[in-house]
Amino acid sequence: MAVLKDILYGVAIEQVIGSTEVEIQQLQFDSRKVSQGTLFVAIKGTRSDGHDFVNDVIENGTNAVVVELLPEVFAEGVTYVKVANSATALGVMASNFYHNPSSKLKLVGVTGTNGKTTVCTLLYKLFRKLGYKTGLISTVENYINDTVVPATHTTPDQLALNQLLDKMVQSGCEYCFMEVSSHAVAQHRISGIAFAGGVFTNITHDHLDFHKTFDNYIKAKKGFFDALNTNAFALTNTDDKNGSVMLQNTKAYKKSYGLKSLADFKGKIIENEFSGLHMDVDGSEVYFRLVGTFNAYNLLAVYATALLLEQDKMSVLTNLSMLSGAEGRFDYMISPNKVVGIVDYAHTPDALRNILSTIENIRTGNESIITVVGCGGDRDKTKRPIMAQTACDWSHKVILTSDNPRSEKPEDIIEDMKQGITAVNQKKVLTIVDRKEAIKTACHLAEPGDIILLAGKGHEKYQEINGERKHFDDKEILIEQFNLLG
């Protein structure tokens, strides 16, 4: 419970009609969840407009509303607060309502097209190993110390985020590592949040359905760094073409990491094998359990962040060398007849190219690479043909299948993918719409020593078809098939 004027502290208010002394029991932006004493925030969304529900919520006990547009008639006993941007205001109000949790812990946000979950999960595991009470906010799962809190988004909405951070503060967490998606920045989910630091991994092709142009996508990611405070750090990947652009307008102090260009935190790959990475990190030789050049970047980002958070270099490297990655990221197993199976969340052209080139670089002989891949429905369509072509370029056999078709027809998605496949590559391609059948076929086609890559769904435990999520787990099916092969 709180008084409206306290919840409004720091909000850029344009106009108030009614009293700001009213008691507020609940803050809410969904009309379906209001109850007595709710402060309702009307947000314009991608499908509907919260302003259309203001009358409904007042009937259901709302005593205050935050709007971008005032109505023509005002209801009695209701306070109206006009702001320029309700989503931004919601962030500030949610912080106030939950006692500004982000300012009570050292919160680091990680943004970029790929690597966010990996970097955040490694940081969380590392800081737990270093003995700290730590929180994690990620695509796969959220954690408050060792307690799992299921994740619905990569970055939760303003309310869920502050509520989660508040629980972390109450559980004594000193650090929290969170993924910052471009959707979250664009929708102001992180407005009002105080970050101790921001990390940039890389930016490549994704989410153009939502951001429309690559420029807008860059701007969304950059918006995160633009909003950092002077006492925060901003850490970027100098080897990424847009690495310096990200930090162009930040007030935070700038640091960098890289494998190729000059950087504050510097790494070099000595060996890259199936068993892991052997690297030189700022002059120290270290073995890591993660595989692939892209993970060398992720590990460097983690190392640099830990040092910027004033941890000891040697204990960071020692503990980091013992860690495995995040679930469903280069998750690999070997069948009794020696077929290698890899489950990976590569769902962008860049991620797919990285994972396949990694496999190509570390395979030892003439083994075939069989890739099973699909693309998500209701998401960036432009990546479909590129991903199909990438799969063909780097594999001996490709099975095109469904990912999460959502509201689209799986056959149509596969058709879009096929547009990218050149004539010479056609003969490598099989189409099996049912993902389980596709995985089974890959297992039957594989000879001992061959490598099967199941790309796109990683840790996901469901397949979403027409708004329904049915249990589906790439790894579970692979294990089942591998045992049958034995």
Ligand X SMILES: Nc1ncnc2c1ncn2[C@@H]1O[C@H](COP(=O)(O)OP(=O)(O)OP(=O)(O)O)[C@@H](O)[C@H]1O
Ligand Y SMILES: N[C@H](CCC[C@H](N)C(=O)O)C(=O)O
Q: Which segments are annotated as binding site?
A: 31, 112-118, 154-155, 181, 187, 189, 379, 403-406, 456, 460
Under the criterion CB under 6 A, does residue 468 sit at the interface with ligand UAG?
no
Q: Which two tokens stand for residue 207?
A: 């989410």
Q: Give the one residue of 79, 117, 155, 236 binding ligand UAG; rule: CB under 6 A.
A: 155
Q: Give the one residue of 345, 394, 472, 482 binding ligand X; rule: CB under 6 A.
A: 345
Q: Give the interface segment with ligand UAG, choosing from 123-131, 148-156, 394-402, 444-452 (CB under 6 A).
A: 148-156
Least distance in angstroms from the C-beta of 179 to Mg ion: 5
Q: Which of 231, 280, 238 is nearest to 255 (CA)?
A: 238
Q: Give the one residue of 91, 198, 341, 458 binding ligand X; rule: CB under 6 A.
A: 458
Residue 53 or residue 294: which is nearer to ligand X going by CB? 294
In angstroms, the CA 227 to CA 249 distance is: 9
In angstroms, the CA 70 to CA 434 distance is: 50
Site for Mg ion in 113-152 (CB under 5 A): 116-117, 139
User: 108 φ, ψ to 5°?
Assistant: -115, 130
Annotated binding residues for meso-2,6-diaminopimelate: 379, 403-406, 456, 460
Partner in contact with 346, chosen from ligand X, ligand UAG, Mg ion, none, beta carbon below 5 to 8 Å by kind: ligand X
Residue 157 or residue 282: which is nearer to ligand UAG going by CB? 157
Partner in contact with 31, chosen from ligand Y, ligand UAG, Mg ion, none, beta carbon below 5 to 8 Å by kind: ligand UAG
Partner in contact with 358, chosen from ligand UAG, ligand Y, ligand X, none, beta carbon below 5 to 8 Å by kind: none
Q: Give the one residue of 4, 7, 24, 53 binding ligand UAG; rule: CB under 6 A.
A: 53
Report the sign of the C-alpha dihedral through residues 441, 442, 445, 449, in that order.
Answer: negative
**Bridge pairing between strands 38-41 and 26-28:** parallel
- The residue type of 366 is N
Least distance in angstroms from the C-beta of 437 to ligand UAG: 27
Closest residue to ligand UAG, judged by C-beta, is: 45
176 beta partners? 107, 135
Partner in contact with 29, chosen from ligand UAG, Mg ion, ligand Y, none, beta carbon below 5 to 8 Å by kind: ligand UAG
Q: Give the interface segment with ligand UAG, choosing from 183-191, 297-305, 331-339, 461-469 (CB under 6 A).
A: 183-191
Least distance in angstroms from the C-beta of 326 to ligand X: 6
Under the criterion CB under 6 A, does residue 354 sit at the interface with ligand X?
yes
In angstroms, the CA 92 to CA 102 distance is: 11
Under the criterion CB under 5 A, does residue 401 sit at the interface with Mg ion?
no
Query: Which bin fits 112, alpha (ψ -120 to 50), beta or left (φ > 0)?
Result: left
Least distance in angstroms from the C-beta of 413 to ligand UAG: 17
Least distance in angstroms from the C-beta of 123 to ligand X: 12
Under the criterion CB under 6 A, does residue 183 sit at the interface with ligand UAG?
yes
Least distance in angstroms from the C-beta of 376 to ligand Y: 2
In angstroms, the CA 118 to CA 324 distance is: 10
Q: Which of 51, 63, 50 is nearest to 17 (CA)?
A: 63
Least distance in angstroms from the C-beta of 466 to ligand X: 22
In angstroms, the CA 81 to CA 9 distance is: 13
Under the criterion CB under 6 A, does residue 346 sit at the interface with ligand X?
yes
The contact set with ligand Y (CB under 6 A) reads 154, 347, 376, 379, 403-404, 456-457, 460
Residue 28 or residue 481: which is nearer to ligand UAG going by CB? 28
Q: Which two tokens stand for residue 236?
A: 């970027």
Under the criterion CB under 6 A, does residue 187 sit at the interface with ligand X?
no
Under the criterion CB under 6 A, does residue 39 sit at the interface with ligand X?
no
Least distance in angstroms from the C-beta of 219 to ligand Y: 19
Residue 27 or residue 351: which is nearer to Mg ion going by CB? 351
Q: Give the one residue of 39, 173, 277, 351 binding ligand X; rule: CB under 6 A.
A: 351
Residues in the chain: 486
Q: Give the one residue of 134, 191, 201, 463 binding ligand X; rule: CB under 6 A.
A: 201
Residues contributing to the site for ligand UAG (CB under 6 A): 29-32, 43, 45-48, 50, 53, 153-155, 157, 181, 183-184, 187
Residues contributing to the site for ligand X (CB under 6 A): 112, 114-118, 139, 154, 179, 201-202, 294, 297-298, 326, 329, 344-346, 350-351, 354-355, 458
